[in-house]
Amino acid sequence: MNILIKIIYAIISVIVAIVWGLTLGGIVRKIYARVHGRYGPPIWQPFLDIIKSHGKRVSISHGIMFYLGPVFRFGGGLGTYLFIPVIYGSTVFANFSMAGDLLLVMYFIFFGQLGMALGAGEGGHPYSPLGIARGLSQMSTFELPFSLAVIAVAIQYNSLNITTIVAAQQGGILNWTLFTNPFAVIAAMISLLGMNMHSPFSLVLAPQEIPIGPPIEMNGSFLATLQTNRGLFGAAKLVLFMNLFFGGATNLPIMMIKTFLIYLVSVIIGASFPRFRPEQSFRFFLKWPTIIGIISIIFISYF
């Protein structure tokens, strides 16, 4: 019976994450539009796009992997989200947090991309492999500073359990990793820019360059699954960063405010800078954020 209640809680939690992730996407589109001097689409536009994509009457497929690509991607998003405790102290939003879940979450962040690479490759469009090559290379490079930051955090709290890390940051703003281990937060926030794939790191979906990128052949429900995952995975990443570096959240409104503010960093930088070329982006991640990540480990081990 216990596991049944747990499953119901997980379903509620996933739905809340999807809705919040998609709403965030809508808000961000609105912000970008205002920066451009436009009025912008309504905040609920991502939901309408998903309804529209599901409403397609015919849908073309290119083979089994083409079916499995979006499924893997969604599975990756679901896996990432389900092992992160969203709200500290809440039973409904605790998800399946356990000892060592941080490693599992980092694995799942990579997993979805690899699945998508297999699926999109079967589409046969030349832009798909181009986007995949860019995406996976960039992913490998921004994983490096992120992993260093996570190692620094693990050394600091002597744990790989996200719940323990959040618990250690309770009791005041100065207990946050942001203040106790600032170098790790800087390195991780720079790698978050790459993860969120806003400009200047928007290499994968790069409009005007390789339009749409890997999912270029995805249509109908395939695309709708990817769009749903964008909401879920987006929310999961932000919640992970909130837990690791910004003290977690004790209730839903705090979670919303914190994730929005973390996302806003990407949006401000995205709205102000043009896009990097692929090699510039890779070199950038391997240079400064990596050095800052190494400094953070030295800082937390010896000072």
The residues binding other proteins (CB under 8 A) are: 29, 33, 36-42, 45, 48-49, 51-52, 54-60, 125, 207, 211-212, 216-220, 223
Long-range CB contacts for residues 251-254, cutoff 8 Å, separation at least 24: 251/87, 251/90, 252/16, 252/87, 252/93
- Which alpha helices (H) appear in the chain, and where do they start and end? 2-35, 45-54, 64-82, 101-121, 127-157, 162-168, 177-180, 182-196, 220-245, 252-272, 278-302
- Indicate the residue type of 178: L
Nearer of residues 89 and 121 to other proteins, judged by Cβ: 121
Q: In degrees to the nearest 10, what's the CA dihedral of 250, 255, 257, 263?
A: 140
To other proteins, the closest distance from the beta carbon of 19 in angstroms equals 17
How many CB atoms sit inside 10 A of residue 69's CB?
30
Report the alpha-carbon distance of residue 1 to residue 184 in Å, rounded: 41
Report the alpha-carbon distance of residue 171 to residue 20 in Å, rounded: 27
To other proteins, the closest distance from the beta carbon of 138 in angstroms equals 21
Nearer of residues 41 and 89 to other proteins, judged by Cβ: 41
To other proteins, the closest distance from the beta carbon of 298 in angstroms equals 46
To other proteins, the closest distance from the beta carbon of 211 in angstroms equals 3
To other proteins, the closest distance from the beta carbon of 128 in angstroms equals 11
Nearer of residues 48 and 103 to other proteins, judged by Cβ: 48
Structure token digits, residue 49: 């796009």
Nearer of residues 212 and 254 to other proteins, judged by Cβ: 212
Nearer of residues 198 and 258 to other proteins, judged by Cβ: 198
